[in-house]
């Protein structure tokens, strides 16, 4: 049976237009990351272009592997697809929750700050998970390519 998860490049290629729509919807908006005393500021349009290029590259790799009939482990393929796309959606949802404006009540503001610390930590863990699964995926691809060449 030909399940949609057996063609992960479709998911990556379908993710690209959504990333670009969200990125250019807030064209003048800025995404800022505060790490101790340093701020990293990126325009949403630049971040969207960078993410869509990366997801296009992932889609091309999956497409190339399927056309050459080079099969990775189903566990690696499914985990890579779910964590890469699901993690991106989770980070987007967490950032929307972090950017909510608190009410003017001081107790609510302090509660929001405390909750935002956990949400920031969740974003960081999700981002590290996405990076880790990319590393595992690229090692698996290189291993399979080297194995098929020799």
Percent over 70 (pLDDT), the chain: 92
Residue spans of the chain under pLDDT 70: 1-6, 33-35, 102-103
Per-residue confidence (pLDDT) for residue 6, from 0 to 100:
66
Per-residue confidence (pLDDT) for residue 57, from 0 to 100:
93
3-state secondary structure the chain: CCCHHHCHHHHHHHHHHHHHHHHHHCCCCEEEEEECCEEEEEEHHHHHHHHHHHHHHHHHHHHHHHHCCCCCCHHHHHHHHHHHHHHHHHHHHHHHHHCCCCCCCHHHHHHHHHHHHHHHHHHHHHHHHHHHHHHHHHHHHHHHHHHHHC
pLDDT in tens, 101-113: 766 777 777 777 7
Per-residue confidence (pLDDT) for residue 103, from 0 to 100:
67
Per-residue confidence (pLDDT) for residue 102, from 0 to 100:
64
């Amino acid at each position: 049976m030909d399940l949609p998860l057996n063609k992960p490049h479709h998911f990556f290629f379908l993710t690209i237009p959504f990333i670009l729509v969200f990125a250019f919807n807030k064209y003048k908006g800025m995404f800022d990351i505060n790490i101790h005393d340093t701020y990293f500021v990126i325009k949403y349009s630049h971040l969207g272009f960078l993410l869509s290029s990366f997801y296009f590259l992932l889609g091309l790799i999956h497409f190339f592997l399927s056309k050459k009939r080079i099969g990775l482990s189903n566990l690696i393929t499914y985990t890579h697809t779910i964590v890469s796309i699901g993690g991106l959606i989770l980070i987007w949802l967490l950032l929307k929750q972090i950017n909510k404006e608190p009410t003017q009540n001081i107790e609510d503001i302090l509660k929001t700050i405390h909750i935002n610390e956990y949400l920031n930590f969740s974003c960081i863990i999700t981002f590290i998970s996405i990076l880790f699964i990319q590393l595992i995926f690229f090692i698996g691809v290189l291993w399979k390519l080297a194995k098929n060449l020799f």
